[in-house]
Structure 1
Amino acid sequence: RPSHEQSNRPPQQHQQQPSRSAPQSSRSTPQHSSSRMSVDEAPTSSRGGNGSGGAIPKSGGNGGSNGGRGGGTNGGNGSQNVDAQRGARRGNRAICDLVRTRPENQNSKKGSSGTQITLTANYFKLASQSKWNLYKYRVDFSPDIETTFARKAVMRRQMPKLGQHLFDGTMIFSPFRYQNDPTQLVDRDANDQPLQITIKFAGELLYTDFGYMQVLNIIMRTAIEKLHLVKAYGTNGMRYFDPQQTIELRAHNLQIMPGFSNAIRQHETQIMICTELTHKVIRMDTCYSALQRIGARDRDAVMRELVGKTIVTEYNNQTYRIDDIDFSQNASSTFKLKSGEDISFLQYFRDKYNITIRDTKQVLLVSRPKAKDVRGGRNEVVNLIPELCRFTGLTDEMRSNFRLMSDMAQHTRINPDRRVAKYLEFNRRIRNEPQSVEVLNKWQMRLEPELVQLAGRVLPAEKIVFGNRECEPRFADWTGEITKNILFQSGQFKNWHCICTQRDQNTVRAFMGIMMNLARDMKVQMSEPRFVTIQDVRVNSYLQALDGVYNDSSQMVMVVMPTLDAHRYGSIKKQTLCRRPMPSQGVLTKVLQKEPRVLRTVAAKILIQMNCKIGNAPWTVKFPLSDTMTVGFDVTYDTADKSKSYGALVATMDLRRVNSYYSTVSQHRHGEEMSNFLVVNMLKALKQYEHVHQSVPKRIIFYRDGVGEGDISHVREFEVQKLRDDLRSMYKERAPLLTFIIVTKRINTRLFTNMRGQISNPPPGTVVDDVITLPERYDFFIVSQSTKQGTISPTNYNVIFDESGLPPDRIQLWTYKMTHLYYNWSGNVKVPAVCQYAHKLAFLVGQYVHQLPSEECANLLYFL
């Protein structure tokens, strides 16, 4: 069956939720351009096809971004044959207690440090013109109807009798209390046989029920759908795109389709809808052009190229994921219409869309229904015509094209004033569209016209401590201070090596002169390296040279590579991390060929990286707490074996006494409990702490990255509980006090300030711990970075366990301080440095090394 022959029901896109054994890992990329130390960054290998999923039908589907199944809107104020009484709303506050993670002893989560600032957030209040509760009813059919879709079709015919309601296939949600219980209705099934419908009262849908928020999300979604936008389901819920606003990038053969994502949730004292901008990138080249490029006869190559990609159809802008290729059929093949008539794909597209398919022999793409599609009664396999399908997302080659990314950023990196204007315009479109207003009015709901304003605080600016003085940087960036100061800690490079090709030797030697002069200025003792030249750039040539360097007891090896080749880079890192462990620094030849005025800055960044890799810290900040270990943990999948993932843990020693770290990695098979490995790694870090300080820490502040919304409860009940139990078992009365914080970077919240009539990003150090936070959580937002382009994104912190006794101020301040210590970046980063280090290590191992690093370098930041 083709994609359009679905009874007007486009399939949903499957969303891979992070599993408990391997949550998603999302890189926290700093937003500066001038201060990134990217010389030894691992080459990325981002896959294309990152487009959004298919839309959810109007008749029901997933309920909003908060997950869970919702119901279709069976509206209508028809005759009230069933006596109904509108419910009375009790109180004025709804608490959506999805997963209560706020510690029982946490009475207040608001801090007081810093200066007050007035902020605007991308939230609109959702008001109700009258007070109402929702009632839920179970619906049974006799004889039973198997599919949800067929059940909804029957219930749509009962709309005039039941009044305004939602139906999800099993339950009715209604503002009316039906007088008869049970209520009996009669209809006819698909075979025109009598059908008995029994509706039984199942209770009230209380404000404490998460389903209440789902219903509100469905109602708002129905109102938005009246704007005739293209729907797509994304990782943060439903997204709506406007094809009329599509932007053409003809020079790059791309289109950008702007859109919005929306989610309703109960916040501290108000139900609000969060609205954020989103974009879908559509490539002008079709799947057919890929088939032509590869050759359709090379089936393995075709499968590798197409399966897993996300496409959008040209004829109705629907989005699908390619699950398979059907080589047994082509565009001339036939399928059955709902009427039972056989028709070819060629004829169908000619009749329905006036489209003539040029290649009648092209194979068919296959998109299979996912589990949630089947639950919704959508179990048809969708067949797609390659020449009518365009890829979404960017290829690796596109991502490495500076001009393309720069041109695209002109439309996707939107400044605060334009972003706010777009929020308000979207709001006006909903309020000015009669059909949208009608939907909201039926449920007596109203969308407030203005964005929410709230009070935030700006934490005191941190002083960066170098070896000779302190400085207070502007805009969270101290790149210009690096070459003017002495490093906080500096090492000695006595026996170290440099591997390069014979052709690059002169360039490398000239650069070494610049770096050694700079080292003297920064008080780093650096002898000239021993040069090892190779004749070619084959992987084996580099590995043989590394063997020789290792046998010479090298303290550090710099490896100069002509191009950014993932296989070469991975082989070198595997050699220096696993087989012959020693700190290594990768550098590209083109980096050493920059103009002279830039080379000094490049040399400073490479010198800092190398200095860190032998155990030193280039700068620090002042920490108020002693005897405290700070830990970051993140997980990423193994790109070579999806059944494996790697969890990386990076821990500090007592930062008031010594700036040193401990790191370790564990491998997890799919389905294995993460908490077992996390605790083992934590105990390793504590042994290192005890070795350094001859005591265990009094406190552990643990930042857990890579946790999806659906895994929060599991992390609290298993990871936190096991960690706490094992700490008490191991250390008894000496057990450290634990604070466990979930870090979430990919959020839709945006914050703005109005400075002298100009809407702009809030300054670094801005904290929000009220109004838009959640009542069931001990959570807060921090804006730790600064950017001159686009809109800054805050990071959300959810404290799910805390026995430290520290007030919210201390936890917020500590979190902000930790964003200053990522040594690959001379500025603040989006998350605490230990999280960024953990991500860097997990990503390096999962993407390139594919095995556990040696423990010999565990006390060094060797992975920078």
Structure 2
Amino acid sequence: MDPNKSTHLQMARSGNGSRGQKIDLLTNHFGVNFTTPKSQHFFQYSVAITYEDGNPVEAKGIGRKILAKVQETYQTDLGFKHFAYDGDKTLFTVGPLPNTKLDFFVVLEDMSCTRSNASTSDAHTKRLRRPNQSKRFNVTISFAAKISMQAIQGALQGKETDDLQDAVRVLDVILRQNAATKGCLLVRQSFFHNDAKYFSNGLGGFNLCRGFHSSFRATQRGLSLNIDVSSTLIVTPGPVMRFLTDNQGVRDQSFIDWKKAERTLKNLRVKVSHSNREYKITGLTRLPCRDQTFIWKQKQGNGEVKEIEVTVYDYFTKHLKIALRYSGDLRCISVGKPKRPNYIPIELCDLVSLQRYTKALTTFQRSKIVKESVQKPQEKMKMLNNAIKDSGYNSDPMLQECGVRIGSDFTQVEGRVLPTPNLKASNGVDLFPTNGRWNFNNKKFAEAATVAKWAVVNFSAKCNPRRIVDDLIRCGRMKGMNIEVPMHDVFEENDQFKSAPGSVRVEKMFAYMESKIKEPPKFLLCILSEKNSDVYGPWKKKTLFGYNGIVNQCIAPPKTVNDQYLTNVLLKINAKLGGLNSMLAIERTRGKSSVMAVPTIIIGMDVSHGSPGQSDVPSIAAVVSSREWPLMSKYRAFVRTQPRKVEMIDNLFNPVSDKDDDGIMRELLLDFESSCKVKPKNIIIFRDGVSESQFKQVLNIELDQMKKACKFLDEQWDPKFTVIIAQKRHQTRFFQGRSRDKNVPPGTIVDSRICSPSNNDFYLCAHAGILGTTRPTHYHVLYDEIGFSTNDLQELVHSLSYVYQRSTTAISIVAPVMYAHLAAAQLATAMKFEDNSESSSSRGGITSGGAVPVPLMPKLKKNVATSMFFC
């Protein structure tokens, strides 16, 4: 089945909500006006670029240089037309080019790479003799399609036509072309200038570079340009050695970890000082410059070539007469291919500017980036005002040709602040959230769990575990928890294992526990020395997949452990052991809530992908589902591995009965029936992590599998489905019209003017923005068989932001989606430590198009499978 061929149609907007206090807002959407264009169509052309010998050009980035040269050289042949090139194989013009097919050739000087088969020495010699290396390229531009501009005119009137998506794509390509001509680094629709503002303190050889995101959006108000401040991490330009010492935090080159250095440097670009040319780093030599040799094909006076084995150091110092101050004892940069090595002393290499770094970062670097990226609303508005003034978009020749003119004012919208949901603690006592926050001062948990047969393991030498235990028991009893005394024991790690790998430390700890107690504990408190301890992953693996499965809580106590810290720990412990910290008032009134009046299951879905550069890490799909209807606060997680970077969850339904895996949907439906003694009549699905281009796939692949799973369990069973997408990765922000120095209040919802002209969507800021500018969640209601009213659906989404058991605050996205994200992330951490045992081998694993088999996720042990282990 074609996943984009509609079998389940996306629903249209049924009307706007009305509940809540109205509030005047501004948003970072700038109005677009459309005057008479020079043509009624965009013309799309295919671009083919080849070398002189006919081989295709595959190097990224070079296409823009070649097309710029074409435009400069062949203006007459192009009919003096401007074009927008996407950097790959497509360009667009306003109106047609003179011919449907055009062939050109261009010559580029100072090429940064060569396709010569020369050896290392020949390449160096040729560059010295001929510094202006040139290369000829053939370019063919062929007509592909016409795209009507009437779609833009329709969007300005609030109409969404079939051609609109294509027309908006062309406008976005024009913005990228505009940025490319200014020498910007392009990251999708974000643009970073060379003179952008940098932050580098504590980032280990990297700079946080600020730029801007710009993209066109079709809204109820018409077409708008959405601009937001954007950030990306770039490599600090300059000498490679300075970068390495900063990156690894060492005094000088003698302390460099060269294996780590090679991983960090690979694929970065350097400029070589003696030739002034750029290269991509392919690796480092294993030997230092004084010892690394290559075969130098030296030309003799009689024209013959003599092969001489020479060291890189001697070649550069004696033949090229380049003085090397410190490279002799250091490894060389390799910029060639395995069969055609090209070695360069490291001190001759400078990292070029505006290189985006996309590999995995440390926990400290990530937290530092978040901190440096923070911008208060007033600061962000000022930057956006300057950006729209400095953009020069209204003088862009292509935007002028298609009649697009962009306004300079923030769009005014009317929002509503939804009433705060009613929360309950123990015995129906009210909790009173203020500004999206509440506390348990003098109150007890709504359903307090019992902590029995428990023990403490201590991997940290920094704290007094006995004191932490005493304080935890005291604080827990204040919250109504029954914490059994005495516990099993506090198991201290043997000093001789503290420097061992994390997995060894965990195995030794379990062996020690087993020697001291006969029966496995039902709960373990694990004390770590730091949050990113290498013990964490192996510990989760052992307690969730191994042994008998033990509910556990890891903590890395601060120097001062106060009651607030202990309460936050107890929130997690209580939820994991089956308790409830707080609950919505509507959860206590079975059958009276309009949402939960009939048996209803709420599902959250997310897919976690490995870090950039981790090509062998599978994606992890997590689905959580509510239990014990009419509760909306208790969930169970179901997690599977799937091929890397695959976004659609491919294991929701297995039509073939399999003792190992019947599919996630059948498993969670049976769990609901077991805990509630009834099948759900309504199924509400919240899906995270998909873009608008994937909405049809969600309906036609994932929803279709879910419906099949229901029919497989009972042919006569026909529950009603509602599917809602939750998006955090967007650039829309809201600002108070009057108090511009403050974030919008929690519960702010916007469903007019800047929303889709046809589809059912809305923005919700459920939480209080403490740092920076609040990022709303963009919800899209794709499918609604249940038939919610607009107000009821919006209030349900708002309420589900208040049932997150890990904190006493409203969160920015519905709790089931956050739980799915946590479950995927936690088990991904545990999977990193999988060995080659049967549970993690590729036997029975899934494959991606015949590629390397994906290791199967080990099964959670029964004792933890139904718990909120991810909480």
1:307 deviation in Å?
Answer: 3.3
* Structure 1 position 533 matched with structure 2 position 494: no
1:564 deviation in Å?
Answer: 4.2
Find the counterpart in structure 2 of residue 92 from structure 1. none
1:652 and 1:662 in contact (8 A); partners too: yes
2:633 and 2:803 in contact (8 A); partners too: no
Change (3 A) 1:358 1:223: farther
* Structure 1 position 542 matched with structure 2 position 501: no
Question: What's the CA shift string for 1:214-258, capped at 9, x where partnerless?
Answer: 2212333444556x4x52233x52322352644564998764432
1:718 deviation in Å?
Answer: 1.2
1:743-754 equivalent positions in 2, closer than 5 A: 743-754=726-737
Count of residues in correspondence between the two structures: 721
Find the counterpart in structure 1 of residue 467 from structure 2. 510
1:660 and 1:859 in contact (8 A); partners too: no
Q: Secondary structure at the match of 1:424?
A: helix
Change (3 A) 1:129 1:620: same
Question: What's the CA shift string for 1:596-623, capped at 9, x where partnerless?
Answer: xx52112222222211111111101134
Change (3 A) 1:439 1:676: closer
Find the counterpart in structure 2 of residue 136 from structure 1. 43
1:671 deviation in Å?
Answer: 8.6
1:409-420 equivalent positions in 2, closer than 5 A: 412-420=373-381
Matched residues in 1 for 2:416 and 2:383: separation? 26
Question: What's the CA shift string for 1:627-676, capped at 9, x where partnerless?
Answer: 11111122224678825232221111255358532222122244989544
Matched residues in 2 for 1:265 and 1:698: separation? 37
Amino acid at match of 1:211: D
1:819-830 equivalent positions in 2, closer than 5 A: 819-830=801-812
1:312-391 equivalent positions in 2, closer than 5 A: 324-325=283-284, 363-364=332-333, 366=335, 386-388=349-351
Q: Which structure ranks higher in relative contact order (CA pairs < 8 Å, sequence separation ≥ 6)? A: 1
1:103 deviation in Å?
Answer: 4.2
Calculate the aligned-residue CA RMSD, in Å.
4.7
* Structure 1 position 176 matched with structure 2 position 95: yes
Matched residues in 1 for 2:618 and 2:336: separation? 26
Question: What's the CA shift string for 1:199-221, capped at 9, x where partnerless?
Answer: 69857466233332122123334
* Structure 1 position 856 matched with structure 2 position 856: no
1:414 deviation in Å?
Answer: 1.0
Matched residues in 2 for 1:831 and 1:569: separation? 26
Q: Secondary structure at the match of 1:734?
A: coil
Find the counterpart in structure 1 of residue 186 from structure 2. 233
Find the counterpart in structure 1 of residue 434 from structure 2. 474
Matched residues in 2 for 1:785 and 1:467: separation? 24
Identify unmatched segments of 5+ residues in structure 1: 1-19, 22-97, 336-344, 347-354, 369-380
Matched residues in 2 for 1:172 and 1:233: separation? 16
Matched residues in 2 for 1:774 and 1:183: separation? 36
Identify unmatched segments of 5+ residues in structure 2: 58-62, 108-134, 152-161, 246-251, 298-311, 314-321, 499-504, 587-592, 654-662, 835-856
Matched residues in 2 for 1:834 and 1:611: separation? 18
Q: Secondary structure at the match of 1:792?
A: coil
Find the counterpart in structure 1 of residue 241 from structure 2. 288
Return the match for 1:653 from 627, 632, 657: 627
1:172-321 equivalent positions in 2, closer than 5 A: 173-176=92-95, 204=148, 207=151, 208-209=162-163, 210-224=165-179, 228=182, 230-234=183-187, 236-243=188-195, 245-247=197-199, 249=201, 255-282=207-234, 287-289=240-242, 300-307=259-266
Change (3 A) 1:395 1:734: closer
Identity percentage of aligned residues: 18
Change (3 A) 1:313 1:677: farther
Question: What's the CA shift string for 1:88-113, capped at 9, x where partnerless?
Answer: xxxxxxxxxx9999945534252222
Matched residues in 1 for 2:508 and 2:582: separation? 37
1:664 and 1:855 in contact (8 A); partners too: no
Change (3 A) 1:707 1:159: same
2:24 and 2:736 in contact (8 A); partners too: yes
User: Which stretch of the first structure deviates more once superposed, 106-115 or 622-631?
Assistant: 106-115
1:547 and 1:580 in contact (8 A); partners too: no
2:36 and 2:402 in contact (8 A); partners too: no
* Structure 1 position 159 matched with structure 2 position 75: yes
1:388 deviation in Å?
Answer: 3.1
1:706 deviation in Å?
Answer: 2.5
Matched residues in 2 for 1:491 and 1:410: separation? 36
Matched residues in 1 for 2:667 and 2:196: separation? 57
Matched residues in 2 for 1:242 and 1:297: separation? 29
Q: Secondary structure at the match of 2:715?
A: helix
* Structure 1 position 483 matched with structure 2 position 441: yes
Return the match for 2:687 from 688, 704, 719: 704
Return the match for 1:687 from 670, 687, 690: 670
Question: What's the CA shift string for 1:378-433, capped at 9, x where partnerless?
Answer: xxx9999644358866999974389x93xx777531110111111111111135x9
Q: Normalised by the size of structure 1, how large is the TM-score?
A: 0.72
2:34 and 2:404 in contact (8 A); partners too: yes
Amino acid at match of 1:648: A
1:583 and 1:862 in contact (8 A); partners too: no
Matched residues in 2 for 1:467 and 1:282: separation? 51
* Structure 1 position 496 matched with structure 2 position 457: no
Amino acid at match of 1:636: S
Matched residues in 1 for 2:579 and 2:139: separation? 77
Return the match for 2:651 from 677, 688, 706: 677
Matched residues in 2 for 1:515 and 1:708: separation? 44
Matched residues in 2 for 1:541 and 1:771: separation? 61
1:530 deviation in Å?
Answer: 2.0
Matched residues in 2 for 1:140 and 1:603: separation? 62
1:678 and 1:719 in contact (8 A); partners too: yes
Find the counterpart in structure 2 of residue 601 from structure 1. 564
Matched residues in 1 for 2:197 and 2:243: separation? 27
Change (3 A) 1:740 1:248: closer
Change (3 A) 1:222 1:527: same
1:138 and 1:202 in contact (8 A); partners too: no
* Structure 1 position 448 matched with structure 2 position 407: yes
1:579 deviation in Å?
Answer: 1.2
Matched residues in 2 for 1:533 and 1:200: separation? 71
Matched residues in 1 for 2:103 and 2:203: separation? 61
Matched residues in 1 for 2:415 and 2:713: separation? 41
Amino acid at match of 1:271: L
1:522-601 equivalent positions in 2, closer than 5 A: 522-528=479-485, 529-534=487-492, 535-536=494-495, 537=498, 538-547=505-514, 551-564=518-531, 566-588=533-555, 590-591=557-558, 593-594=559-560, 599-601=562-564
1:517 deviation in Å?
Answer: 2.1
